[in-house]
């Protein structure tokens, strides 16, 4: 499945303030997500390009229920456009060891609170990302060969039509932003 997305950042708003602007949308209860992101060893320090593979091991907790997933992303036309393959797993340690044996290395860990919704044809994620703040991801899933730029423009049109204000378009994935944040703290 191909996932094309846009990411809107709300540097001056809380989750509740964004929710108040989107009262017509039915959001899920929040879930906690802990992502461990792995990249091919030879790609460390390089900008992501089409064809690059990125793996994510996710622990998602909602109340007393925890789900573990393994996702492989293959970058397509841009950093927010990827072909994704995902499966549920029983533990995190064995897949992490397998990824290391396949030549992947630990890249970064991302911690967030997420609410989900559907505004057809889009899936929405309202996120609070630790160290980064509040975001909305607008996602479009397809199996077709489409122009991601055209799809993303339609997503921005949708956001404007909702009356969302004071957001910044952010074209950098969370994992890269967290990596840059962590590097800035090492100095």
* E strand or H helix at 176: helix 174-186
Domain map (residue ranges) of the chain? 2-186
* E strand or H helix at 185: helix 174-186
**Sign of the alpha-carbon dihedral angle for 43, 48, 54, 57:** positive
Q: DSSP 3-state assignment of 80? A: coil
pLDDT given at position 1: 94
Query: Rounded distance, CA 62 to CA 79, Å?
Result: 29
pLDDT given at position 132: 97
Which neighbouring-strand residues pair with 119? 122
| Tokens coding 55 | 């793996």
Helix %, strand %, coil % for the chain, to 5? 25, 45, 30
With a cut of 70, list the residues of the chain below it in pLDDT: none
pLDDT given at position 79: 81
pLDDT given at position 126: 98
Domain boundaries 2-186, corresponding CATH code = 2.40.320.10
Please write the tens of the pLDDT for every residue from 140-163.
999 999 999 999 999 999 999 999
pLDDT given at position 148: 94
Query: Rounded distance, CA 165 to CA 172, Å?
Result: 20
pLDDT given at position 49: 86
């Amino acid at each position: 499945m191909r996932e094309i997305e846009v990411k809107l950042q709300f540097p001056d708003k809380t989750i509740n303030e964004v929710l108040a602007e989107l009262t017509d949308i039915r959001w899920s209860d929040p879930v906690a997500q802990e992502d461990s992101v792995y990249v091919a060893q030879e790609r460390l320090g390089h900008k992501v390009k089409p064809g690059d593979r990125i793996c994510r091991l996710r622990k998602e907790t909602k109340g007393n229920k925890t789900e573990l997933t393994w996702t492989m992303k293959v970058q397509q036309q841009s950093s927010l456009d990827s072909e994704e393959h995902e499966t549920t797993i029983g533990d995190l340690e064995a897949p992490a060891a397998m990824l290391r044996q396949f030549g992947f290395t630990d890249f970064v860990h991302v911690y967030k609170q997420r609410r989900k919704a559907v505004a057809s044809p889009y899936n929405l994620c309202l996120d609070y990302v630790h160290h980064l703040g509040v975001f909305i991801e607008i996602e479009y899933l397809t199996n077709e060969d489409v122009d991601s730029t055209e799809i993303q423009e339609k997503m921005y049109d949708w956001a404007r039509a909702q009356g969302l204000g004071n957001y910044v378009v952010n074209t950098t994935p969370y994992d890269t932003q967290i990596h840059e944040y962590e590097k800035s703290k090492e100095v």
